[in-house]
Chains A and B, each alone.
Chain A
Amino acid sequence: EVQLVESGGGLVHPGGSLRLSCAASGFTLSDHYVDWVRQAAGKGLEWVGRSRNKANSYTTEYAASVKGRFTISRDDSKNSLYLQMNSLKTEDTAVYYCSRVLVGPYYMDVWGKGTTVIVSS
């Protein structure tokens, strides 16, 4: 079964750091682009960033709201992807989803169930 599973969420103080993981099963993650999308409680969906696939050198794109603070990386040996979040702000509090992006049509076809990040003092 094709699946993505996020982990690593939790409570962190403003200014702190957290690393989220996105583990893939049922397919080879390195063949695909992967997006992170977040959703604050009661709010809509906000795109956070993208990691292109291995064929495109894992280059990345980020939303302006997180650029310079968040970094996406990969570990092919673990079929996983990571979101390193530094200098966290209260407004980063959200459920974070990773999603597979199909190369070619470039839409998000598979989503994980999400992991919750709470930034609070």
Chain B
Amino acid sequence: DVQMTQSPSTLSASVGDRVTITCRASQIINNNLAWCQQKPGKAPKVLIYKASNLESGVPSRFSGSGSGTEFTLTISSLQPDDFATYYCQQYNAYPVTFGQGTRLDIK
């Protein structure tokens, strides 16, 4: 199975900060990587697919980059609505696997 390792597990930041979350895959995944956001009691919502493509309707402050086995999600200027848990997910190989999540808290 492809192991997805996110860092950090928890991140404290303030409104207006620029934050970056990293996801490392245990093998090359051909950029078949998505990022999703989840708020408590809600379903996940996709933000980025194919490593760097912004899903329709997602604010442009979210961006994804990376290739090979190293990927990042960047939020350029944190807004109050962005405090949530973020997951990376590879869909290059079965089983589909997720990172363990990064909880983004208000500092």
> Which A residues are closer than 8 A to B by beta carbons?
35, 37, 44-47, 50, 61, 63-64, 97, 101, 105-109, 111-114
Chain B interface: which size bin?
20 to 34
Per CB-CB distance, the 7 closest pairs between chain A and chain B, nearest first, are: A107-B49, A47-B96, A111-B43, A45-B98, A107-B34, A44-B101, A63-B95
Query: In the assembled complex, which residues on chain A have CB atoms less than 8 Å from the CB atom of B97?
Result: 47
Q: How far is the CA of A37 from the CA of B101 in the complex (A)?
A: 15
Candidates B91, B95, B98; contact of A106 at CB < 8 Å? B91
Enumerate 27 A-B pairs (CB-CB under 8 Å) in ascending A order. Answer: A35-B96, A37-B44, A44-B87, A44-B101, A45-B44, A45-B87, A45-B89, A45-B98, A46-B98, A47-B97, A61-B94, A61-B95, A63-B95, A106-B32, A107-B50, A107-B91, A108-B36, A108-B44, A108-B89, A108-B91, A109-B49, A109-B55, A111-B43, A111-B46, A112-B43, A113-B43, A114-B43
